[in-house]
Amino acid sequence: MKLKSTLLVSFICLATAAMAQDSLTIRKIYDEALVNGKSYENLHYLCKNIGARLSGSANAQKAVEWGKKVMESYGFDHVFLQEVMVPHWVRGAKEEAFIIDGSNKIKVPVAALGMSVSTPADGLTAEVIEVHSLKQLDTLGEAAIKGKIVFFNRPFDPRFIETMIAYGTAGDQRFMGPSAAAKYGAVGVIVRSLTESLDNFPHTGATLYNPKGNNIPAAAISTLGANQLSALLKQKGAGIKFFFKQSSHHLPDTLSYNVVGELTGTENPNKFITVGGHLDSWDLAEGAHDDGTGVTGALEAVRILKTLGYKPKNTIRVVFFMNEENGDKGGLKYAELAANNKEQHIAAIETDFGGFTPRGFGFTGLTNAQLKNLAAWKNLFEPYGSEKLVAGGGGSDIGPLKEKAPGVILIGFLPDSQRYFDVHHTPNDVFENVNKRELELGSASMASLIYLIDQHGFN
Amino acid sequence: MKLKSTLLVSFICLATAAMAQDSLTIRKIYDEALVNGKSYENLHYLCKNIGARLSGSANAQKAVEWGKKVMESYGFDHVFLQEVMVPHWVRGAKEEAFIIDGSNKIKVPVAALGMSVSTPADGLTAEVIEVHSLKQLDTLGEAAIKGKIVFFNRPFDPRFIETMIAYGTAGDQRFMGPSAAAKYGAVGVIVRSLTESLDNFPHTGATLYNPKGNNIPAAAISTLGANQLSALLKQKGAGIKFFFKQSSHHLPDTLSYNVVGELTGTENPNKFITVGGHLDSWDLAEGAHDDGTGVTGALEAVRILKTLGYKPKNTIRVVFFMNEENGDKGGLKYAELAANNKEQHIAAIETDFGGFTPRGFGFTGLTNAQLKNLAAWKNLFEPYGSEKLVAGGGGSDIGPLKEKAPGVILIGFLPDSQRYFDVHHTPNDVFENVNKRELELGSASMASLIYLIDQHGFN
């Protein structure tokens, strides 16, 4: 009994000492982020000196060069580019759109959906049919749809507390709506912007054509424009037509890059903990929250660990993924190279939900026992408000690692989600809408999680 | 044994059924807030149709009338005003200020501190002495201070995770600095704005003169202005002078009102649960977050309960307190009347930290056992992200109830604090900086807490 008790006491003492050390290190991480943080000035540079940076654009290339240079300036052990071919879609001339009510033309704000084809050069005019789901198309059939513009107008459901879920449940209209409507002979598609906010911003974002289908032009309409169109349709029915003109098109695929920086592991250099966001952004704005805060926040997490003199056991990598918005080619390439190079991936953290106050992280791949063990980490995060450590999470850039690096734990960074869809994929996604402290707290929470994973793994 | 087991099972079943009912009711509350919410449009009216509403002003009176009218329109059981005499301070002409560096005059943004006296009509020019604490004044003494303008320049400490604590620890400079400096013969005081944000907004706010002391003029300077002044002082020392001119002054005290609306308790009409914020605001802006979101959020909490047809056991009161910003007369009057009318107060919730995403509530007056029992409520709030139920909390409007209504539990609403001091007491505290969903979630969390207290008390 005596020996057992002594062992138990020793174990408790060791565990308590480790926890005290963890607590101290995390406090240092937050202090560095909040007192000497570089994420906000990096974000300012990315937004204001580079700006919009859609895959294949000259700005995307500038962003790659900037990313590499900044990582090198921080003295990371290894900084390199991963070549990846990406689509090069361009919006062309600014879109035009009108609701046509007899001789009355009412201008409404639209933006071509990413990857959409153009309308005819003179634009496209047709009767409008409003629908609220993809399923409704099947019910209506070709008789009702052929030759018309299908107007998807199912709004965000405001009852979801996390807006990501509202996005997920309304998103099929944008992702699949155009290809689904084309099947029944629609000539164009207008999609209500994916936001709860009532305003005049059209929210762009990729649509996915059926490779075997007919590609019809598709655009997002602002929520206020959608309400106006819907009200007129209710009032006047089939008399209402819609006109839109866009010249969006594809250029040849382009060579681009993921940007990678490493702190080499002192014990397990071939085991990796990745943190990253995507460097590309839509063309309409500066891509501040989507995903400038992701790349600068992830970069900052690794900078902080480096600055504090932390020597990781495993290799810590920050990755600026290319082409998340319209192809995911960077994420696919990263996973492919991980497999080719026989890298062992412990965990990958993705930050692509904006730079808002961090609430926690979602984990995919943990056993129930491992999830339960996160309770100790919850206590460490609680003073910082980032203690929501829950099952489920990841992201589209790290997703391909699941297959290519079996055993990896995929982790999604979870900031407060309330404001994200006010700015998402709009001209309003600008630096001025990012709060410095919120961004800094996010980078500190990621640095803390990386530290804990590196020290303890998922026991 | 059998009987005991049966009783235990019955008890557990009853408790589980009650919790399921609570969970359903709370879901209904959130749905009402998010789908049919009125707080955002009420806030819009208060900010845009009334605007700044400092105690004693014509706008404050308009706000009182509006508040009463809206409460009546919601069909509350009882709506009334509580008379209260309030100070009537006015800013006068727009302030002017320069750093004087030899023949070079550098314009900097300042705003008279609330309750400050004016400078001489032509303004005030003097040498500047920079200090970082009240204690430092005692060390420096009259020899160093007499005839000078004291410049308080201790910045917010960014390491505090909750910005309220940074405000609390830097705030003595504004609250007490002018009276402390006057003791040593200072002729004026300039205080670094109480924010971490680096910008050109001076943040006003009340200063407290010593009733027996010499009242010297005091103004807030923007953080960028403060940095510029400090840099010049470091570089050139005593050569630097400061000029400022303000015509702020007091008019005679004015009759004003708290606005009160009630849902009368069906079992205990003389037992009260109060929720409120302050109706007055500083004169520089619309008082959106401070405290338009407080009054419209508290109002919404009671409107939701009314709309859902909830019949409270105890009387539920929403209170729009008058004069929180420069006198707290409304809060004092409310407590005084509570004592005079022999009201029994169960709990009072104050919302005065802005309309940001709710995180939880802080409780003052609970026993340790009662605090532990909040765990069940934490579970109910968790799906809504508002589960931080902690010891300590209240507010200056409900504070006087502690003495006047013994046994009351004082509760502070705790929203995310990161953005509050970007706008606090500045011209930037406008409707546009409030997010609709964040405001709505706050009102739902308050309605849910009121419901739980009304149903279960603090067992």
Residue A437: list chain B partners with CB under 8 A: 158, 163, 196, 418-419
- Judge: B163–A437 Cβ closer than 8 Å, yes or no: yes
DSSP string, B370-394: HHHHHHHHHHHHGGGT--EEEE---
Domain with CATH 3.40.630.10 in chain B: 30-89+252-456
Q: Which amino acid is at B139?
A: T
What is the dihedral sign for C-alpha A347, A353, A359, A362?
negative
Residue B158: list chain A partners with CB under 8 A: 34-35, 437
Q: Which residues pair with B85 in a beta bridge?
A: B255
> What's the pLDDT score for residue B6?
57
> What's the pLDDT score for residue B237?
80
- Tally the C-alpha atoms within 13 A of residue B6's C-alpha that lie toward its C-beta: 3
pLDDT in tens, B360-409: 999 999 999 999 999 999 999 999 999 999 999 999 999 999 999 999 99
- Select from A30, A437, A448 the residue whose CB has the most chain B CBs within 10 Å, as the one to mutate to test that interface: A437
> What's the pLDDT score for residue A1?
44
Q: Cα separation of A227 and A221, whole Å?
A: 10
pLDDT in tens, A194-223: 999 999 999 999 999 999 989 999 999 999
Strand-pair category, A409-415 with A344-350: parallel
Q: Tell me whether B199 touches chain A (CB under 8 Å).
A: no
Q: Which amino acid is at B43?
A: L
- Judge: B384–A31 Cβ closer than 8 Å, yes or no: no
Q: Could you report the predicted ipTM of this complex, rounded to two decimals?
A: 0.94
> What's the pLDDT score for residue A339?
98
Secondary structure string (H, E, C) spanning B105-171: EEECCEEECECCCCCCCCCEEEEEEEECCHHHHHHHHHHHHCCCEEEECCCCCCCCCCHHHHHHHHC
Helix-strand-coil percent breakdown of chain A, rounded to 5?
40, 25, 35
Helix-strand-coil percent breakdown of chain B, rounded to 5?
40, 25, 35
DSSP string, B1-24: -HHHHHHHHHHHHHHHHHHHHHHH
- Judge: A159–B441 Cβ closer than 8 Å, yes or no: no
- Judge: B196–A437 Cβ closer than 8 Å, yes or no: yes
Q: Tell me whether B183 touches chain A (CB under 8 Å).
A: no
Percent of chain A with pLDDT over 90: 94
Residue A418: list chain B partners with CB under 8 A: 357, 435, 437-438, 441
Where does B184-269 have alpha helices with state H? 223-236
Residues 6+ apart with CB under 8 A from A443: A33, A37, A39, A296, A297, A298, A300, A301, A304
Segment A399-417 shows an average pLDDT of 97
Q: How far is CA B116 from each of CA B139, B246, B282, rounded to the nearest angstrom? A: 25, 9, 14
> What's the pLDDT score for residue B9?
61
Residue among A202, A133, A249 nearest A426 (CA): A202
Q: Hey, what CATH class is B92-247 in?
A: alpha beta
Segment B31-38 shows an average pLDDT of 98
Q: Cα separation of B17 and B49, whole Å?
A: 46
Strand ranges of the sheet holding A314-321, from the earlier edge strand across to the other edge? A78-90, A249-263, A314-321, A268-278, A344-350, A409-415, A358-364, A388-391
Q: Cα separation of A204 and A423, whole Å?
A: 11
Split at pLDDT 50, 70, 90, the class of A459 is confident
Any idea which fold A26-89+252-456 has? Aminopeptidase (3.40.630)
> What's the pLDDT score for residue B238?
76
Any idea which fold A93-247 has? Glucose Oxidase; domain 1 (3.50.30)
Q: How far is CA B207 from each of CA A220, B152, B179, B204, B324, rounded to the nearest angstrom? A: 52, 13, 8, 9, 13
Any idea which fold B30-89+252-456 has? Aminopeptidase (3.40.630)
pLDDT in tens, A61-74: 999 999 999 999 99
Residue among A444, A456, A453 nearest A29 (CA): A444
- Judge: B159–A416 Cβ closer than 8 Å, yes or no: no
Residues 6+ apart with CB under 8 A from A349: A273, A274, A275, A276, A298, A361, A398, A411, A412, A413, A446, A449, A450
- CB-based contact B192:B223 (threshold 8 Å): yes
Domain with CATH 3.50.30.30 in chain A: 93-247
Residue B159: list chain A partners with CB under 8 A: 30-31, 34-35
> What's the pLDDT score for residue B121?
97
- What does the radius of gyration of chain B's CA atoms come to, in whole angstroms? 24
> What's the pLDDT score for residue A128?
97
> What's the pLDDT score for residue A10?
62
Where does A184-314 have alpha helices with state H? 223-236, 293-307
Q: Which phi and psi angles does B353 have, rounded to 5°?
A: -120, 25
Distance of CA A411 to the CA centre of its chain: 13
**Matching residue, tokens 């063309």:** A283
> What's the pLDDT score for residue A19?
83
- Select from A418, A423, A435, A440 the residue whose CB has the most chain B CBs within 10 Å, as the one to mutate to test that interface: A418
What average pLDDT is seen over chain B? Answer: 96
Segment A112-121 shows an average pLDDT of 98
Percent of chain A with pLDDT over 70: 97
What average pLDDT is seen over chain A? Answer: 96
Q: Which residue among A384, A419, A436 places its CB closest to the CB of B161?
A: A384
- Judge: A441–B161 Cβ closer than 8 Å, yes or no: yes
Q: Which residue among A159, A163, A418 places its CB closest to the CB of B35?
A: A159
Residues 6+ apart with CB under 8 A from A234: none
Segment A383-398 shows an average pLDDT of 96
Segment B283-300 shows an average pLDDT of 97
Strand ranges of the sheet holding A96-101, from the earlier edge strand across to the other edge? A104-107, A96-101, A240-245, A124-131, A149-152, A188-192, A218-221, A110-112
Q: Tell me whether A213 touches chain B (CB under 8 Å).
A: no
Packed helices A2-36 and A436-456: angle between N→C axes, nearest 10 degrees:
150
Strand-pair category, B149-152 with B188-192: parallel
Distance of CA B216 to the CA centre of its chain: 26
Residue A199: list chain B partners with CB under 8 A: none
Residue among B246, B250, B257 nearest B220 (CA): B246
Split at pLDDT 50, 70, 90, the class of B279 is very high
- What does the radius of gyration of chain A's CA atoms come to, in whole angstroms? 24
End-to-end CA distance of chain B: give it in Å, rounded: 27
Q: Tell me whether B197 touches chain A (CB under 8 Å).
A: yes
Domain with CATH 3.50.30.30 in chain B: 92-247
Write out the two tokens for B10. Answer: 């019955």
Q: Which phi and psi angles does A319 have, rounded to 5°?
A: -125, 125
Strand ranges of the sheet holding B240-245, from the earlier edge strand across to the other edge? B104-107, B96-101, B240-245, B124-131, B149-152, B188-192, B218-221, B110-112
**Matching residue, tokens 């080619």:** A329
> A14 vs B249, which has greater pLDDT?
B249
Split at pLDDT 50, 70, 90, the class of A11 is low
Length of chain A: 459
What's the pTM?
Answer: 0.95
**Matching residue, tokens 């290190």:** A25
- CB-based contact B435:A418 (threshold 8 Å): yes
Q: Tell me whether B95 touches chain A (CB under 8 Å).
A: no
**Matching residue, tokens 């020793």:** A10
Q: Which residue among B385, B418, B435 places its CB closest to the CB of A437?
A: B418
Q: How many CB pairs under 8 A join A and B?
A: 60
Write out the two tokens for B382. Answer: 């968790």
pLDDT at A149 over 90: yes
- CB-based contact B29:B451 (threshold 8 Å): yes
pLDDT at B418 over 80: yes
